[in-house]
Structure 1
Amino acid sequence: MIRHLWQQLFSRFLKKYHLSQYFLRSASFKELHQSSYAQQVGQQLSAQLKKAAKHSQADVYSAYTTHRDGLTENEAAQRRERYGLNELNQEKPLSWWHHLWYCYKNPFNILLTILAIVAAMTDDMTGTIIISVMVVLSTLLRFWQESKSNKAAEALKSMVSNSASVYRRGLSYQQLNDMAQRYGIDLKENPGTIFEIPTKYLVPGDVIRLSAGDMVPADCRIVFAKDLFVSQAAMTGESMPVEKFADLLDPDQENAMALDNIVFMGTNIVSGSASAVVLSTGNESYFGALAKRVSNNQPVSTSFQMGVNQVSWLLIRFMLVMAPIVLFINGFTKGDWTEALLFALSVAVGLTPEMLPMIVTSTLAKGAVFLSRKKVIVKRLDAIQNFGAMDVLCTDKTGTLTQDKIFLSKHIDVMGNVSEPVLLLAYINSYHQTGLKNLLDIAVLEHADQNVKMEKLRYHKLDEIPFDFDRRRMSVVVRTPSKRVRIITKGAVEEMLSTCRFVEINHEVVELTPERIEQIKANSQQYNHQGLRVIALAYRDVEQEQTTFSVADEQNLTLCGFLAFLDPPKETASQAISALHQHGVTVKVLTGDNEFVTQKVCAEIGLAADQMLLGEQVERMSEEQLKQAVEKYQIFAKLNPMHKERIVMKLKENGHVVGFLGDGINDAAALKSADIGISVDSAVDIAKESADLILLEKSLLILEQGVLEGRRTFANMLKYIKMTASSNFGNVFSVLIASAFLPFLPMLPIHLLVQNLLYDVSQIAIPFDDVDEEALQQPQRWQPQEIGRFMIFFGPISSIFDILTFALMWYVFAANTPEQQSLFQSGWFVVGLLTQTLIVHMIRTAKIPFIQSRAALPLMVMTGIIMAVGIFLPMGPLAEYFKLQALPLSYFLYLPLILIGYMILIQLMKSYYIKRYGWQ
């Protein structure tokens, strides 16, 4: 029962303080949809959604008092006042009193509070005051540190926000300027009546445009859709995207999530495009209603949380065992059970790592501030430690290993000759597509000259067949100047060849024979070997009467030429990969590009490119075969999104801490699956939502610095835990020995409490300590069993010198009677505090302290002050209040010898420990 209670308390303490816009995990939503709560929430919302789904488009506009061209800015402002911002309650920061309570309610503070109440009930007011001071100090320090870090995180988070394409009508010149200031938009990049505004400003009745890669910003009714596929995994747990339409196909559908023309906040567009009317926002959305329930559920623990949990339970179990032993030994040997109880409570306080929450928060906050200076936005604080533990980094190729700028190098026919008609068709295709314009489209649009731009005005768009990652192509349908209806398709070479029946050679259309296919493949591969990405272009004229088009129309095409793009490697890529390798991080490339271009780029930046695994091979592998393959191969090419996710999952199953760097919609699944998802400010919405860190600069050099800061953060947290565990164990071991033989208590409860309070104060500076370079070379993870071994190994060393102190006080200074116990206790108080403080410097490094490795100035100053206070208390005017007494001056002749001997033995044992077990 007690264990269960503590686990509940501790799991609440471990609950993450999320910083991402939507912190809720899909698993939680899936469970909710399988629970009765989904039905309860759904009844009212479902009725509204089903009513909107059954409306005609005209009725939707009428019901929400809007227009197919959107709201006016005045109408939007009025509705914003009425409905509020499109935000979830959970996104708002805690009020200061809620935050203060959150900082207090960890199991260590609760334990100390119980001990303070017990002390008060036994009339030990001094103990009550000291324990209360420790609780207040721990709570306020954590509150102060987290308040600072949260403010910094909110400021950083405001730099990365999702936006929505919203229609506005009836705008005057002044209103345009007002919008630019209110929403922080660039009017040059927002021509016409569609504007990119932050999603939080959306209101019911807004008309928005959705395309591949967008997060759906609110619950919406679709009024236009073209090959629209939506991933609802975040809401329902469905792994496959579902197709949505402008009309309701099944009027009898009772399940709100299955309505054909409704999309929900928190889902994302996989492919296609749509226009939609916003129905409900913020907490009134289906997502918001579920979020309110999820916020009351226990989140799934991360590896970081589980590590802290295991370590803390180790210390708590140790305390629950040792405190009763101390109680019974002193009760039976001294006969005063009340005093024995107080002493046992003081031992329990001394064993409680009450500063752990503050130390963890402080070190993580310091890491977040450091990374923010390196232009890295930390959405989730505990991701910093995962950064340091990462031993495999999976990264996309384009824009990460290569420059974030692609150039159109060639526009040629199938014979390899420069072709202006090919460039024109490519320009028309890229210009008219409404889906996600990638770097290839931008390169085509930037390459075309004024003649091509003028010529495209003679072509009128009729329809579009959006890109998806299965077909790996997309099409637009236009009416040509000669009034023909033409499908213009571009895509990956092999996928395009599978849909082509003819080929245009020297302006003559001939059949595409197997021999010609092989020759075309060979020609394109030559460009690939030169490091060029090749895209095929084809067309087909169709009947004038045809008005709607789909994927089925992408057949019997005529191949007309190729586009070859140059995607040069970044100058810093080779240096960054080398640095990551030196720090124990293996870099693996996961790309959808073909094997030849990938091989060329990887060879140029120093990655072994002789062996490569292709997506089609991944597809055929069993789970066990893939687990072995992900260890063997460094480069994976021609992958689809599911391949990337599967590779990441297998690496995790093999025991790796996996990071994934990506920015596209095809990276979203892998970003969610990785231990630490890393994206960039320019990424699509779903990629940024899935990531834990956002880079304002897409550079592997920044990642290397982040890895080192993560390890530095972890090393400082580990210092506190090792110091606390070993010194506490040593103190209790000494107490047990002394209690069994002394006719009085070796130290009064007040002495233990003051000693522990002073020691805790000295730890405040640990987050600001330096870390040896050697400790940053390899990934670091939580190893609770190693901490337990460390505690048992080093704790008794301090007990050796405690026993020497006992002998010194007993035989040399004759403090061997109950009347002289104050002298005895003063002597051990000073030695205990000084050795406990010195252990900070001994254990913070694997090197020789003060000589080979010195602590940072804040830690040096803090420990120096505490040691001085420890000597002052028995020697100064406060001694009587704390039931201490002045020590003879000859004591201070022995004190340095004890401390020097202690440090020498610790160093010798540390050398032995490092040789046998290593040093984390």
Structure 2
Amino acid sequence: MALSKRKAIVTRLESIEEMASMDVLCSDKTGTLTQNQLTLGEVKLFHAKDEQAVLLAASMASREEDRDAIDEAIIHGLNDKHYMDHFTQVRFVPFDPVHKRTEATIRDDLGHSFRVTKGAPQVIMQLCGLAGDDEARAQQVVDDFAAHGYRALGVAHKESDDAPWVFLGVISLFDPPREDSAETIKQAGEHGVRIKMVTGDNVAIARQIAGKLGLGSNILPAGSLIGKGGDANLPDNAIEQVERADGFAEVFPEHKFAIVKLFQKHGHITGMTGDGVNDAPALKQADVGIAVSGATDAARAAADLVLTTPGLSVIINAIEEARRIFERMNAYAIYRISETIRIMFFVVLAMIFFNFYPITAVMIILLAFFNDIPIMTIAYDHTQLEKEPVRWNMRQVITVATAMGVTGVIGSFGMLLIAMDWLKLDIAQIQTYVFLKMAVAGHLVLFVARSREHFWKRPWPAPIMVWSAVITKVAATLLAAYGFGVITPISWPEIALIWGYSIVSAWVTDLVKVAVYRHMENRTPRHQQFLGHVQHRLHPAASK
């Protein structure tokens, strides 16, 4: 619900847990890190009479109704768009990531047919068979544009089916970075998530944009690293190169799939953004597939998270919310395990050693009712936001829960001995005594389990969690005091003793919990003193 309010739709609930653990996010450049609002730049002429001739040919190789950002920028660059009315588009071949060009068959008012094309400069240059000085000059133009962050498009035409393609010129286009991209990338880094830019543009353009966004300049050409053979042709050091890279250029759809698998092979929880049909395999392979705004139905179907607004900023909100949900699940697991140990071991051992049931079947049902209502409110609890990706540490969960549970068992037996040997209660009163103690202590343990630090420190519990506990505990207390024909009542001084004992027991349990966490995370004073001693021995100058 929280994510849907931020225009992000979760299509697979399990992805919430994986998003909390995600440490690498491969992001498309165009439309995600950039605005996808292209502006027309300089036009370099080759075999065209003027710039308008190049733009006219490129416009005829476009389809305005598709609302493509490149096509719109080129068509808007025409001085007289009505001149296009003299031509009819007979056939149109749209752009695809493999061939990287569009092509159209055009017929003029006189019935003469010819063909035009636009696309990646290297593809158009090869199509026209450029060689020698023309090839060198065209490549230099493309490199100059790329050095300034401009995308380049080659344009060519063909007078007839038998005629050769003629290279008309190169058009430059600039797609500025989104205003929030640099801040989003910075925030991702602060959350322990590295963003890797993935683009079909050449290395120079990718490096220029990456520099503006603060990503770094280590941009690798995907083809030279991975190749089209997939994993079978990977070089030995491919994983290390991918790890160190800040982004990947000249990327084909199959490269995205291979990049994701490489990161996963190296133990990373990997996210991937995409919008096209060809991105679907990579989105499906990724631990967290993210379909960006305007994605195709195929990409949305393969994704775990669908964004309905442009940009990546909402992903940061999704990561934060996922980590909060993870912390709630972690707290619930610890609470549930510790309560199971506390109740099960206490009841069984009490039956063995004292030869009576410390709690009746009706009390067990009432206890489940009083405990389960507040435990549901943990879904709304305020939790600490971890700065790094989180993963399940079952050794830690079981150790902490066991320590808390054993402490609870010892406390319960202490309470039982007080009721039997000091207060001299009969069995029916002892059962009520144990019932109220388990009800009160159970919720106090819930507040203990929800945080790694002491329970009185921030973040404090959500109001709904506090009030649900207060209401159910008041109800349990009144039931213990008056019985209402369901259980045997006990006196108010005995009830006060149970409350005081339970509060002290929860405080002791909290001390045990914090001590176990600090021991397992090497944060005890002894560990810190040892680490400080080692650092001093390794870097004596820095310690002074």
TM-score normalised per structure 1: 0.54
Q: 1:664 to 1:442 in 2, by over 3 A?
A: farther
Structure 1 match to 2:140: 522
Q: CA–CA distance in 2 between the matches of 1:677 and 1:485?
A: 45
Corresponding residue to 1:670 among 278, 282, 289: 282
> Which AA in structure 2 matches 1:858?
I
Corresponding residue to 1:561 among 169, 174, 177: 169
Q: 1:758 to 1:417 in 2, by over 3 A?
A: farther
Q: CA–CA distance in 1 between the matches of 2:346 and 2:47?
A: 88
Structure 1 match to 2:83: 455
> Which AA in structure 2 matches 1:372?
S
Corresponding residue to 2:434 among 828, 835, 844: 828
Deviation at 1:415, TM superposition (A): 9.6
Task: State whether structure 2 residue 530 is matched by structure 1 residue 902.
Answer: no
> Which AA in structure 1 matches 2:69?
L
Q: CA–CA distance in 2 between the matches of 1:440 and 1:461?
A: 18
Q: 1:735 to 1:623 in 2, by over 3 A?
A: farther
> Which AA in structure 2 matches 1:900?
I
Task: State whether structure 2 residue 101 is matched by structure 1 residue 473.
Answer: yes
Count of residues paired in the alignment: 518
Structure 2 match to 1:9: none
Structure 2 match to 1:27: none
Cα RMSD over matched residues? 2.5
Task: State whether structure 2 residue 195 is matched by structure 1 residue 584.
Answer: no
Structure 1 match to 2:486: 881
Deviation at 1:892, TM superposition (A): 4.3
Q: 1:370 to 1:465 in 2, by over 3 A?
A: closer
Corresponding residue to 1:499 among 110, 124, 127: 127
Task: State whether structure 2 residue 154 is matched by structure 1 residue 536.
Answer: yes
* Unaligned 5+ runs, structure 1: 1-368, 502-511, 547-552
- State whether residues 615 and 636 of structure 1, in contact with CA within 8 Å, keep that contact through their aligned partners in structure 2: no
Moved over 4 A (4+): 415-418, 480-484
Task: State whether structure 2 residue 302 is matched by structure 1 residue 690.
Answer: yes
Structure 2 match to 1:753: 365
> Which AA in structure 2 matches 1:584?
G
Q: 1:826 to 1:373 in 2, by over 3 A?
A: same
Deviation at 1:783, TM superposition (A): 4.1
Q: 1:416 to 1:793 in 2, by over 3 A?
A: farther
Q: 1:399 to 1:624 in 2, by over 3 A?
A: same
Q: 1:917 to 1:613 in 2, by over 3 A?
A: farther
Corresponding residue to 2:23 among 368, 391, 396: 391
Q: CA–CA distance in 2 between the matches of 1:845 and 1:386?
A: 21
- State whether residues 24 and 194 of structure 2, in contact with CA within 8 Å, keep that contact through their aligned partners in structure 1: yes
> Which AA in structure 2 matches 1:492?
A
- State whether residues 626 and 647 of structure 1, in contact with CA within 8 Å, keep that contact through their aligned partners in structure 2: no
SS in 2 for 1:915: helix
- State whether residues 155 and 169 of structure 2, in contact with CA within 8 Å, keep that contact through their aligned partners in structure 1: yes
Structure 2 match to 1:742: 354
SS in 2 for 1:474: strand
Q: CA–CA distance in 2 between the matches of 1:526 and 1:417?
A: 22
- State whether residues 219 and 248 of structure 2, in contact with CA within 8 Å, keep that contact through their aligned partners in structure 1: no
Q: CA–CA distance in 2 between the matches of 1:417 and 1:753?
A: 89
Deviation at 1:398, TM superposition (A): 0.4
Q: CA–CA distance in 2 between the matches of 1:415 and 1:529?
A: 24
> Superposed, which structure 2 residues align to 1:369-388 within 5 Å?
369-388=1-20
- State whether residues 595 and 614 of structure 1, in contact with CA within 8 Å, keep that contact through their aligned partners in structure 2: no
Q: CA–CA distance in 2 between the matches of 1:895 and 1:637?
A: 67
Q: 1:478 to 1:871 in 2, by over 3 A?
A: same
Structure 2 match to 1:726: 338
> Superposed, which structure 2 residues align to 1:81-96 within 5 Å?
none
Q: Which has the higher contact order (CA 8 A, sep 6+)?
A: 2
Deviations 1:587-622 (A, max 9, x none): 111111111111111100110113424323211742
> Which AA in structure 1 matches 2:84?
K
What is the percentage of aligned positions where both structures have the same residue?
Answer: 24
Deviations 1:824-847 (A, max 9, x none): 222222211111110111111123
Q: 1:441 to 1:752 in 2, by over 3 A?
A: same
Structure 2 match to 1:837: 443
Q: CA–CA distance in 2 between the matches of 1:493 and 1:888?
A: 87
> Which AA in structure 2 matches 1:807?
L
Deviation at 1:417, TM superposition (A): 10
Deviations 1:238-284 (A, max 9, x none): xxxxxxxxxxxxxxxxxxxxxxxxxxxxxxxxxxxxxxxxxxxxxxx
- State whether residues 412 and 418 of structure 1, in contact with CA within 8 Å, keep that contact through their aligned partners in structure 2: no
Structure 1 match to 2:541: none
Q: 1:877 to 1:905 in 2, by over 3 A?
A: closer
SS in 2 for 1:537: strand
- State whether residues 477 and 495 of structure 2, in contact with CA within 8 Å, keep that contact through their aligned partners in structure 1: no
SS in 2 for 1:777: coil
Q: CA–CA distance in 2 between the matches of 1:496 and 1:415?
A: 13
Deviation at 1:875, TM superposition (A): 0.7
Q: 1:580 to 1:915 in 2, by over 3 A?
A: same
Q: CA–CA distance in 2 between the matches of 1:859 and 1:416?
A: 73
Corresponding residue to 1:809 among 419, 434, 437: 419
> Which AA in structure 1 matches 2:362?
I
Deviation at 1:898, TM superposition (A): 2.1
> Which AA in structure 2 matches 1:405?
Q
Q: 1:747 to 1:423 in 2, by over 3 A?
A: same
Q: 1:694 to 1:524 in 2, by over 3 A?
A: same
- State whether residues 826 and 887 of structure 1, in contact with CA within 8 Å, keep that contact through their aligned partners in structure 2: no
Q: CA–CA distance in 2 between the matches of 1:458 and 1:755?
A: 83
Deviation at 1:915, TM superposition (A): 1.7
Structure 2 match to 1:798: 408
Deviation at 1:784, TM superposition (A): 4.1
Q: CA–CA distance in 1 between the matches of 2:365 and 2:464?
A: 24
> Which AA in structure 2 matches 1:822?
A
> Which AA in structure 2 matches 1:856?
A
Structure 2 match to 1:914: 517
- State whether residues 226 and 238 of structure 2, in contact with CA within 8 Å, keep that contact through their aligned partners in structure 1: yes
Q: CA–CA distance in 1 between the matches of 2:82 and 2:478?
A: 87
> Which AA in structure 2 matches 1:881?
V
Q: CA–CA distance in 1 between the matches of 2:49 and 2:397?
A: 68
SS in 2 for 1:767: helix
> Which AA in structure 2 matches 1:864?
V
Task: State whether structure 2 residue 452 is matched by structure 1 residue 846.
Answer: yes
> Which AA in structure 2 matches 1:604?
K
SS in 2 for 1:498: helix
TM-score normalised per structure 2: 0.89
> Which AA in structure 2 matches 1:397?
K
Q: 1:381 to 1:893 in 2, by over 3 A?
A: closer
> Which AA in structure 2 matches 1:408?
L
Q: Which moved more, 1:463-472 or 1:705-714?
A: 463-472
Q: 1:446 to 1:386 in 2, by over 3 A?
A: farther
SS in 1 for 2:271: strand
